Structure 1
Amino acid sequence: MNELLLQLIDMLSLPLEERAARRALRDFAEGAGFDYFAYLHLRGQESFAVSNYPREWQEHYVQKNYIRVDPVVTRAKHGPPIFQWSADEARRIGRLDVRQFYKDADRFGIRSGLSVSVPVGFKNRMVFTLASGKSMVCIDEDPDPVTAAMAVAFVHSHLASATQDAALASDIRLSPREAECLRWFADGMSMPDIAETVGIGYRSVRSYLDEATRKLGATNSRQAASIAIRLGLI
């Protein structure tokens, strides 16, 4: 495993285009005895994933908002930096939503895996996962934590700005008026001008912007507008 990680680092140190980087990760996963790879950038409402998981599973994951119950994500946030997981864990977990998660994942050939979690700043995480259709993970040696973290950093350097396969914050819903006010704000319009354009009071504009900012987990309206644009909400 460690030799493969070093080879992956060497490959990703090259100025690869996104398609080539994805191919390198696919080949790395297969060489390590896994079927899939997944890179998750956990950053609140802007969390997203890049993977070669079946498209149907990606869509199902977002539709069910599984990021809230995914035990891999939970352990990545609060557990060890490197850990193994499997569907067999569901038998030891009493929560029905976690059992349903594993049951659904099993239908798509996702039954076990190995994950590496690296903190970025105060709350954000980079998580790189290798997944398999086997009931248990089988690797020749435990990954060296430093080498694994370095490999994840190189994965991040190529995929942080890549075309997202799944935006994981599917539960964000802006009202039509919130989206309209935030869209005008993103275009550089002041709140008094927004009020005049939309035909509502200044306080109403302020209220709509504040609520949109809260929903998006932003610290101010400018950051909220930036997040909403990246998520395709305005």
Structure 2
Amino acid sequence: MQHRRMTAVTEFRELSPRVSDQLFLSPRMNFPGAARGAFAVELGRLLDRTYGIGQPKQLFDLLSAFALNFDCPWVAYGSRDQKGLKPVRGDPAVMLNYPDGWREHYLEMGYDKIDPTIKRGRRRIEAFRWSEVYNDESTTEDERRVLDEAAAFGLRSGVSVPLHGPDGSFAIMNFAQARDGEFPNRTITYLQLAALHFHLRVAEFANAAGIESTSNLSPREKECILWTAKGKSSWEIGKILGLSINTVNFHIKNVMRKMDANSRITAAIEVLKRGMIEL
């Protein structure tokens, strides 16, 4: 008797009605049957392809392509622990394709400290729409401003998927659209499944690596830590490089984390010792 080869695509075709029925987040808004089947097939293809991937960046590119099926050109993944965000673009801890203008503005304004999607994500298990956060009575005006300004940069509606782990670890995946409108519940289900799979695969990469690679500093990180080694304050470095104090501190904290240092001076000494910069 010949057995049919099962892939994630064929398995998900058979399981998708049952899986989506169990995981819908609120009363269902049904896609047409053909569209629903197509989305299930695309999710299955995503699952199949991720197992041939060797780098987190390639994995993120696959996820971003999958999100386009739901008109989501903007995707961001951020991993946090009890010490806060590990903010290195391209590092498995943070990957995103947000518009450059919004990314820079977000950092300069220090919005990672008041982002309402992060606050809500820490308290929630299930995915949620940004509109729910905006209309929540507990959301402050400063927090609403983050979403208003995101919309001004083209991220007009979105969904966040909280991803909780052991020891208080926390990650969040954001999917954003360039148009106003509510995400159908089945769309959220597919995005949530994709985000969870992505998160688990990233964890596998991290476990395989053993420890985070610290061999490279970005050009901006090198500039900031070089001026730190020369005795300049964050304010002075900002004036020299044309950056805000928040952005300078952001890059210096990255270097401190990569060097496993508890102060900027210790980080600068370690970078000099490794020959990564020269005075």
TM-score by length of 1: 0.61
User: What is aligned with 2:120?
Assistant: 75
AA partner of residue 119 (structure 2)? T
User: How far off is 1:140 after superposition?
Assistant: 6.3
User: What is aligned with 1:10?
Assistant: 48
After TM superposition, the structure 1 = structure 2 runs for residues 95-134 of structure 1, keeping only pairs within 5 Å, are 95-134=140-179
1:53 and 2:98 are equivalent in the alignment: yes
SS of equivalent residue, structure 1 residue 80? coil
User: How far off is 1:71 after superposition?
Assistant: 1.2
1:32 and 2:70 are equivalent in the alignment: yes
User: How far off is 1:86 after superposition?
Assistant: 2.9
Greater relative contact order (Cα < 8 A, sep 6+)? 1
**Between the two proteins, what is the percent identity of the paired residues?**
20
Give, in whole Å, the separation in 2 of the partners of 1:56 and 1:78. 29
User: How far off is 1:112 after superposition?
Assistant: 1.5
Give, in whole Å, the separation in 2 of the partners of 1:9 and 1:164. 32
Q: Which runs of 5+ in 1 are unaligned?
A: 166-175, 180-215, 217-222
User: What is aligned with 1:149?
Assistant: 196
Q: Which runs of 5+ in 2 are unaligned?
A: 1-38, 88-93, 219-227, 232-252, 269-279
Q: 1:24 to 1:140 in 2, by over 3 A?
A: same
Q: How many residues align?
A: 183
User: How far off is 1:110 after superposition?
Assistant: 0.8
User: What is aligned with 1:173?
Assistant: none
| 8 Å CA contact retained: 1:115, 1:130 | yes
Which deviates the most, 13-22 or 30-39?
Answer: 13-22
Give, in whole Å, the separation in 2 of the partners of 1:124 and 1:19. 21
SS of equivalent residue, structure 2 residue 189? coil
Give, in whole Å, the separation in 1 of the partners of 2:150 and 2:159. 15
TM-score by length of 2: 0.53
User: What is aligned with 1:226?
Assistant: 260
Q: 1:224 to 1:106 in 2, by over 3 A?
A: closer
AA partner of residue 26 (structure 1)? S
| 8 Å CA contact retained: 1:87, 1:112 | no
Show CA shifts across 1:65-110 (max 9, x none): 1112111111111123322213882585662211221221111111
Give, in whole Å, the separation in 2 of the partners of 1:69 and 1:139. 27
Give, in whole Å, the separation in 1 of the partners of 2:258 and 2:52. 34
| 8 Å CA contact retained: 1:113, 1:129 | yes
| 8 Å CA contact retained: 2:78, 2:85 | no
Q: 1:18 to 1:92 in 2, by over 3 A?
A: same
AA partner of residue 226 (structure 1)? D
